[in-house]
Structure 1
Amino acid sequence: MTDTSDALVQPAPPEIDEETAAVLARDLWGVRGAARALGSHQDRNFLITPADAAPRVLLKIANPSVTAAELEAQSAAADAIVRAGVRAPRAVRFADGSTVRPVVVEGVTMQARLLEFLEGETLSGYLSPAAVREIGTLAAAVDVALGDLVAPAAERTHQWDLREAPGVLAELREYVTDADLRESLSRAADAAWKVVAGLADRLPSQFIHGDLTDDNVVAGDPVTRVPDGVIDLGDLNRTWTVGELAITVSSLLHHDGMDLARATRAIAAYHAVRPLSPAEADALWPLVVVRGAVLVASAHHVIATDPTNEYAAENLLHEREILRQATSVPPEVATALVRAATGHETVTLDLPASSPLLSGSPSVSIVDLSPTSPLLDEGRWLSDSAEDELFAAGPSAARFGEARLTRSRPGAPSEPATVALGVELQLPDATQLTAPWPGTVHPTDHGLELRTDTHAVTIDGCRAITPADTEVAAGQAIGETAGRIWIQVTRAGVSAPRFAPASLVPAWRTVVADPSALIPGLTPAPVSADDLLARREASFADVQEHYFADPPVMVRGWREHLIDTDGRVYLDTLNNVTSVGHAHPRLVEAVAAQWRLLNTNSRFHYPAVVEFSERLAALAPDPLDTVFLVNSGSEAVDLALRLGQAWSGRRDVLAVREAYHGWTYLTDAVSTSIADNPAALQTRPDWVHTVPAPTGDGAYTADAVARVEELAAEGTPVGAFVAETVFGNAGGVMLPDGYLDAVYRAVRAHGGLAIADEVQVGYGRLGEWFWGFEQQGVVPDVIAVAKAMGSGHPLGAVITTREIAERYRTGGYFFSSAGGSPVSSIVGLTVLDIIRDEELQRNAREVGGYLKERLQELGRRHPILAAVHGSGFYLGPEFRRASGEPATAETAAICARLRELGVIAQPTGDHQNILKIKPPMVFTRDSADELVAALDRVLTTGW
Structure 2
Amino acid sequence: MAMQELKTKVVEYSPSTVKALVEEHFHMTVEVKSLPGYVDLNFLLTDTQGKRFILKIANADESLAELDMQNAVMNYLNGQELAYQLPEVIKNLAGNEITALKDGHGRPRPMRLLSYVPGVFYCDHKALTGHHYSQLGTLLGKLDLSLQGFSHSAASRHFDWDLKHAKSVIESKVGLITDQSQRQQVLKILSGFEQQVIPFMDELPQGVIHNDVNDYNLLLTSASLDAEVIGLIDFGDMVHSHQINELAIACAYAILGSDSPLTIIQAITLAYHQQRPLNGAELWVLLPLIAARLAVSVCNSSEAILTEPDNEYLLVTAEPAWAAIISLLKLDAKSVGFELQRLCLTPNKGAQASCLPVNESGESGADNASSERRRDILSQRAKRLFKTLSVSYEQPLIIERGQGQFLLDENNIAYLDMVNNVCHVGHCHPAVVAAGQAQMAKLNTNTRYLNDNILDYSQTLLDTFPESLSVVMFVNSGSEANELAMRLMRCKTQSDELVVVDGAYHGNTNKAIEISPYKFNGPGGEGAAEHIHIVPVPDPYRGPHKGMSVESGLAYAEPVQQVISKLQREGKQLGGYICESLQGVGGNLIMPSGYLDAVYQAVRAAGGVCIADEVQVGFGRVGTHWWAFETQGVVPDIVTLGKPIGNGHPMAAVVTTKEIAAAFVTGMEYFNTFGGNPVSCAIGKAVLDTIKADNLMLNAQDTGDYMQQCLVKLQQEFDIIGDVRGLGLFIGVELVKDENLTPATQEAQALIEWFKSRNILLSLDGPFSNVLKIKPPMVFNKDNVDYFISQFVLGLSHLNA
Q: The TM-score by the shorter chain falls in which range?
A: 0.5 to 0.7
Write the distance in 1 (CA, Å) between the matches of 2:355 and 2:386. 30
SS in 2 for 1:621: coil
Residues 508 and 940 (structure 1), Cα distance of their counterparts in 2 relative to 1, 3 Å cut: closer
Write the distance in 1 (CA, Å) between the matches of 2:152 and 2:774. 57
The residue correspondences of 1:611-760 to structure 2 (distance < 5 A) are 611-673=456-518, 677-678=522-523, 680=525, 682-695=526-539, 696-698=543-545, 699-760=555-616
Cα contact 1:653–1:721 (8 A) shared by 2: yes
Write the distance in 1 (CA, Å) between the matches of 2:687 and 2:562. 41
The one of 379, 383, 389 equivalent to 1:534 is: 379
Cα contact 1:709–1:746 (8 A) shared by 2: no
Residue 624 of structure 1, CA deviation: 1.1
Write the distance in 2 (CA, Å) between the matches of 1:505 and 1:876. 39
Question: Alpha-carbon deviations, 1:810-846, whole Å to 9, x = none?
Answer: 1612222222111110111111011011111111111
- Residue in 2 that maps onto 1:470: none
Cα contact 1:877–1:915 (8 A) shared by 2: yes
Cα contact 2:616–2:642 (8 A) shared by 1: yes
The one of 378, 383, 388 equivalent to 2:195 is: 378
Residue 601 of structure 1, CA deviation: 2.0
Residues 871 and 360 (structure 1), Cα distance of their counterparts in 2 relative to 1, 3 Å cut: closer
Residues 381 and 732 (structure 1), Cα distance of their counterparts in 2 relative to 1, 3 Å cut: farther
SS in 2 for 1:529: helix
Matched, 1:601 2:442: no
Write the distance in 2 (CA, Å) between the matches of 1:676 and 1:694. 18
- Residue in 2 that maps onto 1:925: 782
- Residue in 2 that maps onto 1:575: 420
What root-mean-square deviation, in Å, do the aligned CA atoms of Structure 1 and Structure 2 show?
Answer: 4.2
Residues 684 and 509 (structure 1), Cα distance of their counterparts in 2 relative to 1, 3 Å cut: closer
Letter in 2 for 1:791: N
Matched, 1:895 2:712: no
- Residue in 2 that maps onto 1:565: 410
Write the distance in 2 (CA, Å) between the matches of 1:536 and 1:591. 29
Write the distance in 2 (CA, Å) between the matches of 1:939 and 1:512. 31
Cα contact 2:496–2:531 (8 A) shared by 1: yes
Cα contact 1:731–1:869 (8 A) shared by 2: no
What are the ranges of 5 or more consecutive residues in structure 1 without an aligned counterpart?
A: 1-355, 369-373, 423-496, 514-524
- Residue in 1 that maps onto 2:766: 909
Residue 851 of structure 1, CA deviation: 0.4
Cα contact 1:399–1:420 (8 A) shared by 2: no
Residues 596 and 886 (structure 1), Cα distance of their counterparts in 2 relative to 1, 3 Å cut: same
Letter in 2 for 1:378: Q
Write the distance in 2 (CA, Å) between the matches of 1:511 and 1:723. 49
Matched, 1:876 2:718: no
Cα contact 1:869–1:875 (8 A) shared by 2: yes
- Residue in 2 that maps onto 1:795: 651
- Residue in 2 that maps onto 1:265: none
Write the distance in 1 (CA, Å) between the matches of 2:732 and 2:681. 32
Write the distance in 1 (CA, Å) between the matches of 2:699 and 2:532. 39
Write the distance in 2 (CA, Å) between the matches of 1:390 and 1:930. 36
Write the distance in 2 (CA, Å) between the matches of 1:933 and 1:676. 38
Q: Percent identity?
A: 33
The residue correspondences of 1:159-174 to structure 2 (distance < 5 A) are none
Residues 755 and 559 (structure 1), Cα distance of their counterparts in 2 relative to 1, 3 Å cut: same
Question: Alpha-carbon deviations, 1:718-757, whole Å to 9, x = none?
Answer: 2121001111222321112221122222222222111000
Indicate the larger mover: 807-816 or 871-880: 807-816
Letter in 2 for 1:597: K
Residues 512 and 804 (structure 1), Cα distance of their counterparts in 2 relative to 1, 3 Å cut: closer
- Residue in 1 that maps onto 2:308: none
Cα contact 1:888–1:912 (8 A) shared by 2: yes
Question: Alpha-carbon deviations, 1:622-665, whole Å to 9, x = none?
Answer: 21110001111111111111110111111221100111110011
Letter in 1 for 2:688: L
- Residue in 1 that maps onto 2:620: 764
Residue 505 of structure 1, CA deviation: 3.7
The one of 354, 357, 377 equivalent to 1:501 is: 354
Write the distance in 2 (CA, Å) between the matches of 1:801 and 1:772. 18
Residue 676 of structure 1, CA deviation: 8.9
Cα contact 2:207–2:243 (8 A) shared by 1: no
SS in 1 for 2:612: strand
- Residue in 2 that maps onto 1:785: 641
Q: TM-score, normalised by structure 2?
A: 0.55
Residue 800 of structure 1, CA deviation: 0.4
Residues 362 and 840 (structure 1), Cα distance of their counterparts in 2 relative to 1, 3 Å cut: closer
Write the distance in 1 (CA, Å) between the matches of 2:364 and 2:625. 59
Question: Alpha-carbon deviations, 1:154-182, whole Å to 9, x = none?
Answer: xxxxxxxxxxxxxxxxxxxxxxxxxxxxx
Residues 611 and 641 (structure 1), Cα distance of their counterparts in 2 relative to 1, 3 Å cut: same
Cα contact 1:766–1:873 (8 A) shared by 2: yes
The one of 694, 697, 700 equivalent to 1:841 is: 697
Residue 866 of structure 1, CA deviation: 0.6
Letter in 1 for 2:630: E
Cα contact 2:497–2:532 (8 A) shared by 1: yes
Residues 904 and 510 (structure 1), Cα distance of their counterparts in 2 relative to 1, 3 Å cut: closer
Letter in 2 for 1:877: V
Question: Alpha-carbon deviations, 1:124-174, whole Å to 9, x = none?
Answer: xxxxxxxxxxxxxxxxxxxxxxxxxxxxxxxxxxxxxxxxxxxxxxxxxxx
Cα contact 2:521–2:527 (8 A) shared by 1: no
The residue correspondences of 1:269-418 to structure 2 (distance < 5 A) are 378-380=195-197
Write the distance in 2 (CA, Å) between the matches of 1:920 and 1:730. 20
Write the distance in 2 (CA, Å) between the matches of 1:749 and 1:823. 41
SS in 1 for 2:517: coil
Cα contact 1:786–1:796 (8 A) shared by 2: yes
Indicate the larger mover: 614-623 or 869-878: 614-623
Question: Alpha-carbon deviations, 1:756-803, whole Å to 9, x = none?
Answer: 001111111011222111111111100101112111111111100122
Residue 862 of structure 1, CA deviation: 0.5
Matched, 1:545 2:390: yes
- Residue in 1 that maps onto 2:688: 832
Cα contact 1:764–1:771 (8 A) shared by 2: yes
Query: Relative to total residues, which structure has the larger helix share, 1 or 2?
Result: 2
Letter in 2 for 1:898: F
Residues 615 and 534 (structure 1), Cα distance of their counterparts in 2 relative to 1, 3 Å cut: same
Letter in 2 for 1:501: S
Residue 928 of structure 1, CA deviation: 0.9
SS in 1 for 2:602: helix
- Residue in 2 that maps onto 1:225: none
Matched, 1:820 2:676: yes
The residue correspondences of 1:417-436 to structure 2 (distance < 5 A) are 419=279
Letter in 1 for 2:431: R
- Residue in 2 that maps onto 1:201: none
Write the distance in 2 (CA, Å) between the matches of 1:503 and 1:734. 45
Cα contact 2:359–2:365 (8 A) shared by 1: no
Q: TM-score, normalised by structure 1?
A: 0.47
SS in 1 for 2:534: strand
Residues 642 and 418 (structure 1), Cα distance of their counterparts in 2 relative to 1, 3 Å cut: farther
- Residue in 2 that maps onto 1:299: none
Cα contact 1:661–1:671 (8 A) shared by 2: yes
Cα contact 1:733–1:869 (8 A) shared by 2: yes
Letter in 2 for 1:689: H
Write the distance in 2 (CA, Å) between the matches of 1:602 and 1:915. 41
Write the distance in 1 (CA, Å) between the matches of 2:196 and 2:580. 35
Write the distance in 1 (CA, Å) between the matches of 2:756 and 2:484. 37
Cα contact 2:404–2:428 (8 A) shared by 1: yes
